[in-house]
């Protein structure tokens, strides 16, 4: 018998604190699989955020640094500039990256900092109990939009991938999802491309991953995967945002 | 050795794996693990095609998948 699937070496054996069915776990595993495949476990430094993934440093079997809320891109900038040959990534939720930390990520991308960001968009603040995030979709109910997000008073969702793709310093921006096995395979490919471009010294790369929060969305884990497909993807279309096909040379 | 093996003490009973198996052989056990969840399991091992869909969708790295070596 040969083993075709097992835990990647870049994940520790710790049980995660994530809720049942939360796809943070899938995204952790994909990053770890890419680290293993590229053979960079001793060369990689991760920066964990504030949010449900605040304890990511217990789960990745690599060097990790915790950052203040939203400040992971600033911390990663420092690490990468001091250790230019290390592979550096931030792992950030949508509250962390698109709310309190929006300035950090925009300027890191604009400066073309040569690290990679894994941006987990679950359209809500998970850790703090389900408040509206900048990425909450119109009509979506949350603790702070109990009647559904209303653009008249609460504005519109931010499409982070498309927004950052306008910046010259960003070399690779993609949006992927993990709601079925096919999309999980595509998500892994995008994460690998982002890491490879970083290793080649090209510039800033970011992979936005649509993720579920069954607990705060109020759906079962399998219903939540369907909600990603039916409700999130129409607002957050998947695909490579930069470079566009016609720009590749 | 089993084709598809579940580390039951890690399972959080989310049922995602049961929904993606093309052979519909992943089921939830009646027993409880130490965390208080009904763990997922496969009884009909011979029907497993080692596609790894369950393992790739499991958020908790519960599942190991194997297949026969081709001679
Ligand atoms: C400076 C500061 N402000 C606010 C908070 C409270 N807080 C903790 S996590 C969080 C948002 C988390 O949401 P997100 O980044 O989407 O991650 P998720 O939990 O959904 O994975 C907030 C506002 C904090 N810890 N520190
Ligand atoms: S609150 Fe939401 S994002 Fe946080 S661990 Fe639970 S399901 Fe995941
Ligand atoms: S996907 Fe994983 S955690 Fe969820 S029921 Fe299946 S084995 Fe258990």
Beta strands in chain A (DSSP E): 2-5, 44-48, 63-66, 87-93, 116-121, 170-177, 204-210, 239-242
Select the CATH number that applies to the domain covering B4-65 from these four: 3.10.450.50, 1.10.600.10, 3.40.228.10, 3.30.70.20.
Answer: 3.30.70.20
Chain B residues with CB inside 8 Å of A16's CB? 59-60
Summarised one tens digit per residue, pLDDT across range B20-44 is: 999 999 999 999 999 999 999 999 9
- What's the pTM? 0.97
Which residue, judged by its Cα, is nearest atom 4 of ligand 1? A69
CB of B55 within 6 A of ligand 3: the answer is no
Summarised one tens digit per residue, pLDDT across range A179-238 is: 999 999 999 999 999 999 999 999 999 999 999 999 999 999 999 999 999 999 999 999
SS3 A14: coil
Contact call for A222 and B57, based on CB within 8 A: no
Angle B50-B53-B59 from CA coordinates, rounded to 5°: 125
Enter the ipTM.
Answer: 0.97
Q: Could you tell me which residues are beta bridge partners of residue A121?
A: A210
Select the CATH number that applies to the domain covering A24-248 from these four: 3.40.50.300, 3.90.480.10, 3.40.50.970, 3.50.50.60.
Answer: 3.40.50.970
Average pLDDT score over residue span A145-150 = 98
CB of B9 within 6 A of ligand 3: the answer is no
Pocket of ligand 1 from Cβ distances under 6 Å: A 50-53, 69, 93-96, 100, 120, 122, 124-128, 133, 213
Distance CA A140, CA A109 (A): 29
Query: B55 pLDDT band (50/70/90 cuts)?
Result: very high
Q: Could you tell me which residues are beta bridge partners of residue A63?
A: A45
The ranges assigned to domains in chain A are: 24-248
Alpha-helical (H) ranges within A112-240 are: 151-154, 160-164, 181-199, 214-217, 221-227, 233-235
């Amino acid at each position: 018998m040969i083993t075709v699937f097992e835990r990647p070496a870049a994940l520790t054996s710790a049980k995660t604190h994530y809720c049942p069915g939360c796809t943070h776990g899938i995204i952790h595993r994909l990053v770890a699989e890419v680290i293993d495949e590229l053979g960079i476990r001793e060369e990689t430094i991760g920066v964990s955020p504030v949010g449900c993934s605040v304890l990511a440093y217990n789960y990745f079997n690599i060097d990790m640094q915790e950052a203040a809320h939203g400040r992971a891109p600033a911390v990663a900038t420092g690490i990468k500039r001091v250790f230019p040959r290390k592979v550096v990534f931030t792992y950030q939720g949508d509250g962390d990256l698109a709310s309190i930390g929006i300035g950090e990520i925009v300027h890191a991308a604009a400066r073309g900092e040569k690290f990679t960001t894994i941006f987990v968009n679950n359209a809500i603040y998970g850790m703090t109990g389900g408040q509206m995030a900048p990425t909450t979709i119109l009509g979506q109910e949350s603790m702070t939009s109990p009647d559904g997000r209303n653009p008249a008073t609460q504005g519109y969702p931010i499409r982070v991938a498309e927004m950052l793709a306008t910046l010259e310093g960003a070399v690779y921006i993609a949006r992927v999802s993990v709601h079925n096995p096919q999309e999980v395979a595509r998500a892994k490919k995008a994460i690998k491309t982002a890491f490879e471009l970083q290793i080649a010294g090209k510039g800033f790369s970011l992979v936005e991953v649509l993720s579920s929060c069954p607990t705060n969305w109020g759906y079962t884990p399998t219903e939540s995967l369907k909600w990603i497909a039916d409700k999130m993807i129409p607002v957050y279309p998947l695909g490579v945002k930069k470079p566009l096909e016609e720009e590749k040379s | 050795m089993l084709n598809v093996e579940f580390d039951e003490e890690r399972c959080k009973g989310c049922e995602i794996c049961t929904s993606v198996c093309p052979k519909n052989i992943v089921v939830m056990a009646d027993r409880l693990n130490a965390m208080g969840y009904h763990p997922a399991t496969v009884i009909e091992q011979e029907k497993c095609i080692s596609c790894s869909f369950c393992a790739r969708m499991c958020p908790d790295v519960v599942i190991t998948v194997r297949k026969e070596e081709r001679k």
